[in-house]
Every structure is written in C-alpha cells, then in structure tokens.
Amino acid sequence: MSDSKTALVISAHAADFVWRCGGAIALHQKLGYEVTVACLSYGERGESARLWKEGKTLDEVKTIRRKEAENAAAALDVHDIQFLDLGDYPLDLGSEAQDRVVDIIRAVQPRFMLSHSQYDPYNTDHMRTTEFVLTCRMIAQAWGHKPGEDVLGAPQLYLFEPHQTEQMGWKPDTFLDITAVWDKKRAAIECMEGQHHLWDFYTNVAENRANHFRRNSGGQAGGRAAKYAEGFQSVFPRTVDEL
C-alpha cells in the first residue's frame, strides 16, 4: 500500500456520491486524503426527469449532469473526478468497463472504498454497481492480472446509505460525524439542480444520522454533539482509526 492517504468512491450515477457520502469525502480531504470519485454514468436516462420534461436532448442532459457533478466535486474539494459514461437504466458493466475500473483502483491504491448497498430493488443500477465493485476489487488484488503492476492491498469497502433504507437490508455499523464539513456537503447538494426535491431529504437524513451518532458515542452520558452525520455498512472486518 502506498504511504499516501487515498480513498475511492464508485458512484453509479453522477449525483449519488453527493447525497450519500459527500460529507465523508469533504472530511477526509480535510484530514489529508486524496479522494477520487469515479462516476459510472451521468444518470442521464433515469435520474434526470426534469431535464427531459424541459425538452433537452440526450447530449444536453449528459452535459448538464456532468457540470453539476463537477461543481459538486469542487464544493467537496474532491481530488479527482472521473466519468466513465457507461450509460444508465441499465448500466453497461461489461469487460471493458471492468478493465477500466480495475485500472482506476490500482492507480488510486485506496485505503478505503465507498459504494452502494448490496440490494436495491428500486434501482438495480445501484446493487449491480456494488457487485461489480467487489469483482473489480478482487481482480485488482490478483498478482496475475497485468503482472508487473502494483497490486491492490485489502481496502475496506463501505456501503453508503440507499434512498429507501428500510427496503434494502442495509444495516449501518459506522457513523461518521460530518458536522465540521456540513456546509461543503450542503453546497454540493445545491449543485444538483436536476434533483432539487432531494436537497432537504438528504439534509434530514444527515440530521437523523447525527442523532444515531450521538446515541452511540455516549448518549446523555457524554455523546459528542454532532449535528450532521453519515452512516455506512462495512463489508469486511474493520481495524480503523479513520474510515
């Protein structure tokens, strides 16, 4: 593993990283990490209803979604954001996409990774992304894949919160206080003009998760006064000082 502190977010659509782990991104950038975001698609077909209702073309929708994501990434101080343009509803996760993501993982050498819940019947792009990410992580660890390259160690994969949490079998085991960088996350949220209806929804999620952070960090006996937090589910056993 490299001595540099890095992290990698793999987001099915261009806005997912903002709603679900924008606070973790901004906080770890503040802690000295270089956080890379890989957007598999722009969410152009399935998550851009307002733009389609306005009569935009496919290329126009993609351009607008990319700009929104770039602005949000800047608000979060993202080190690097990459767009793979794999289409959405459904994502095209064939062998070419797999090789591209393995190359990104090996180049970043992340200390931890973030992606979607393992089950999401409302949006199969999300759960297919997580299976795909686990496969790419495995390949990136293989000494026989492109011999001579630096192989991946064993970074934790954290699953960020899905939209309809109770339906997904997602159970958080890690809560992260993002109060110190909430202004950055809210600014990033407000960059996503195409999904204005989610701005206050995800603000409310962060407030609720802060309550869980307080209760699990000592509660009335001395829990930290977190105002905003994010929840994550770890896939592998954890040995951590930070995410």
Question: CA-CA-CA-CA torsion for 48, 49, 53, 59, nearest 10 degrees?
Answer: 30
Q: How many CB atoms lie within 10 A of CB 156?
A: 20
- Region of 114 (left: φ > 0; alpha: ψ -120 to 50; beta: rest) is beta
Consecutive H or E run containing 205: helix 199-216
What is the chain's mean pLDDT, rounded? 94
Which residue shows structure tokens 């509803």?
A: 89
At what angle are helices 124-140 and 95-108 packed, to 10 degrees?
Answer: 60
Count of residues making up the chain: 243
Q: Where are the alpha helices (DSSP H) in 95-198?
A: 95-108, 124-140, 182-189
Give all domains of the chain, ordered by start, each with its CATH number: 6-234 (3.40.50.10320)
pLDDT in tens, 69-87: 999 999 999 999 999 999 9
Please say if the pLDDT value at position 209 is more than 60: yes
Closest to 189 (Cα-Cα) out of 49, 37, 9, 21: 21
**pLDDT band at residue 194 using 50, 70 and 90 as cut-offs:** confident
For a pLDDT cut of 70, what percent of the chain falls above it? 95
Please say if the pLDDT value at position 221 is more than 60: no
CA dist 96 and 93 (Å) reads: 8
CA dist 158 and 174 (Å) reads: 9
Please say if the pLDDT value at position 122 is more than 60: yes
**pLDDT band at residue 220 using 50, 70 and 90 as cut-offs:** low
Check residue 184 and give its pLDDT: 98
Question: What average pLDDT does range 36-48 have in this prediction?
Answer: 96
Question: What average pLDDT does range 102-113 have in this prediction?
Answer: 98
* Residues 175 and 209: beta-carbon distance below 8 Å: yes
Alpha-carbon distances of 199 from 44, 58, 222, 223, rounded to whole Å:
19, 24, 31, 27
Question: What average pLDDT does range 22-44 have in this prediction?
Answer: 97
88: tokens are 């959405």
* Residues 108 and 231: beta-carbon distance below 8 Å: no
pLDDT in tens, 84-103: 999 999 999 999 999 999 99
The SS3 of residue 113 is strand
Please say if the pLDDT value at position 1 is more than 50: no
132: Cα separation from own chain's centroid: 14
Which residue shows structure tokens 């797999």?
A: 98
* Residues 134 and 235: beta-carbon distance below 8 Å: yes
Check residue 232 and give its pLDDT: 97
Helix, strand, coil share of the chain (percent; to 5): 45, 15, 40
pTM summary value = 0.94
pLDDT in tens, 134-156: 999 999 999 999 999 999 999 99
